[in-house]
């Protein structure tokens, strides 16, 4: 009997050892030794690679994990999954490369510099290019690119998470949050709902999910339409007559299938707005900026640190460099098309998109999850008015009335705390809040993680 027990114990530890060595080998295979053009002595580890989400179709999603610096206690920091929207846009291009990631790309498209307000100083960041067909994520079934939609995107993202935690089991019991912006206003609540529902009834949930954070988020078609048209009109971007036409012609029930009259009115509104950057209405669009920057830099030293609207162009150069793709373990299937910040095919042929996320908000608020919504107030694409109408429709009791929050004795924006939801605006920020107001976005993220009100 003693020999039998000893044998069982031996084989148990042998099995555990094999499993441990297996996932450690997988992690090591995904480790990024160094990115081309990366600053030296960065003090944190990075991993990237693929996780298969559907073997039959050959769908695999690309991720990039940026750990917190060891000096900031990476081993105890939470894990945050970041998703960009579109639909069809890359979390590597936007979230990682120009918003919350540790590096920004220089105009040469070859070298990187440190982002002092990178969110990995506060949490371990997991960027996911989703769905398949976006960025480096791929499918061996071509029709997948033409049939992507909300439901499959959420299911694939959940499968990704479960499989990723098997590769990185040290994160299984960490506090876990999901964050994103724009059309991720759909992705984030939908994935949150799946995680929450599948965790129920499990004694030790696979995902230690605590809540979500969304910015300038597509939330509810009806309220988004009303709020967007109102924003254009109240900010002097369109005429009174066009505003009235939009209110009548556009079916406020669905943004997926606008009528021909609505499209005509939207084209008229776009013409009236002129050559502005609708994602940041008070900053110059990319095509006007480079010459301005050269002329003013000598007189205004801060210009070199100002918002650069051409960052997407730098991404398209950098992430197409063969040496960058090798360092990231990306494009392993050698696809025939270049890496792009957004996939037009995925976006144009988007299959399903529910009219509203508000029922999911109601369910997850009732579940007691932490939910924060933020909005840059110079975005004309998913403006602050749209978000306020959507939140108002939830009819939540107010805990703390509207108040100004501060950064260095200056107003950073405004906030209101509801029962189950916190809303924060960031003044002077466009659609990508961490790009336009990196310091204020950092303060916002820190407050979210600490579950504390914005500093007043």
pLDDT at 452 (0 to 100): 97
pLDDT along the chain (456 residues), means of 10: 57 53 86 95 95 96 96 90 95 96 95 96 97 95 94 97 95 96 97 95 82 97 94 97 93 68 92 92 72 35 52 93 96 85 92 94 98 97 97 98 97 98 97 96 98 95
Position of tokens 């089991």?
169
Chain center to CA of 317: 21
Is 128:46 a contact under the CB 8 Å cutoff? no
CA distance 150 to 380: 24
- CATH code 3.40.50.1820 for 46-222+353-450: yes
CA distance 45 to 37: 16
pLDDT at 298 (0 to 100): 37
Catalytic positions are 182, 379, 431
- Name the token pair of 68: 């917190």
Among residues 170, 182, 195, 150, which one has the least CA distance to residue 65? Answer: 170
pLDDT at 253 (0 to 100): 57
Q: Where are the domains of the chain?
A: 46-222+353-450
Structural Rg of the chain based on CA atoms: 23
Helix, strand and coil in the chain, % to nearest 5? 45, 20, 40
CA distance 312 to 340: 9
Dihedral pair phi/psi, residue 42, rounded to 5°: -80, -25
pLDDT at 204 (0 to 100): 67
Q: How many CB atoms sit inside 10 A of residue 12's CB?
A: 10
How far is CA 10 from each of CA 3, 22, 58, rounded to the nearest angstrom? 10, 18, 38
Chain center to CA of 155: 17
CA distance 232 to 243: 8
């Amino acid at each position: 009997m003693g020999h039998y027990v000893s044998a069982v114990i031996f084989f148990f530890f042998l099995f555990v050892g094999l499993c441990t060595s297996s996932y450690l080998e997988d992690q090591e295979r995904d480790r990024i030794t160094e990115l081309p053009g990366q600053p030296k002595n960065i003090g944190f580890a990075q991993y990237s690679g693929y996780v298969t989400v559907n073997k039959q179709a050959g769908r695999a999603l690309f991720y990039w994990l940026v750990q917190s610096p060891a000096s900031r206690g990476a081993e105890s920091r939470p894990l945050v999954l970041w998703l960009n929207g579109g639909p069809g846009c890359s979390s590597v291009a936007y979230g990682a490369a120009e918003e919350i990631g540790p590096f920004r790309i220089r105009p040469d498209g070859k070298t990187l510099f440190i982002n002092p307000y990178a969110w990995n100083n506060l949490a371990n960041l997991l960027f996911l290019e989703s769905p398949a067909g976006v960025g480096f994520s791929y499918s061996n079934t071509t029709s997948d690119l033409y049939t992507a939609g909300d439901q499959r995107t959420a299911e694939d993202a959940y499968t990704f998470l479960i499989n990723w935690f098997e590769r990185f089991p040290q994160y299984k019991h960490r506090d876990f949050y999901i964050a994103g912006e724009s059309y991720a206003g759909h992705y984030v609540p939908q994935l949150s709902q799946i995680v929450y529902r599948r965790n129920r009834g499990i004694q030790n949930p696979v995902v230690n999910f605590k809540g979500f954070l969304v910015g300038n988020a597509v939330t509810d078609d009806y309220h988004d339409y009303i709020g967007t048209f109102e924003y254009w009109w109240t900010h002097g971007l369109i005429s009174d007559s066009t505003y009235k036409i939009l209110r009548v012609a556009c079916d406020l029930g669905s943004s997926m299938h606008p009528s021909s009259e609505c499209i005509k009115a939207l084209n008229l509104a776009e013409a009236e707005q002129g050559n502005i950057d609708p994602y940041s209405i008070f900053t110059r669009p990319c095509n006007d900026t480079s010459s301005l920057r050269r002329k003013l830099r000598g007189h205004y030293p801060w210009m070199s640190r100002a918002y650069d609207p051409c960052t997407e162009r730098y991404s398209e150069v950098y992430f197409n460099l063969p040496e960058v793709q090798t360092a990231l373990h990306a494009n392993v299937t050698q696809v025939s098309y270049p890496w792009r910040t957004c996939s037009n095919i995925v976006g144009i042929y988007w299959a399903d998109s529910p009219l509203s996320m508000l029922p999911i908000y109601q369910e997850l608020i009732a579940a007691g999850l932490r939910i924060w919504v933020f909005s840059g107030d110079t975005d004309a694409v998913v403006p602050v008015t749209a978000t306020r109408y959507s939140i108002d429709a939830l009819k939540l009791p107010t805990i703390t009335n509207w108040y100004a929050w501060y950064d260095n004795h200056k107003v950073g924006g405004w906030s209101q705390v509801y029962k189950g939801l916190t809303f924060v605006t960031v003044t002077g920020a466009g659609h990508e809040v961490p790009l336009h107001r990196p310091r204020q976005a950092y303060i916002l993220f820190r407050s979210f993680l600490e579950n504390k009100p914005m500093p007043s």
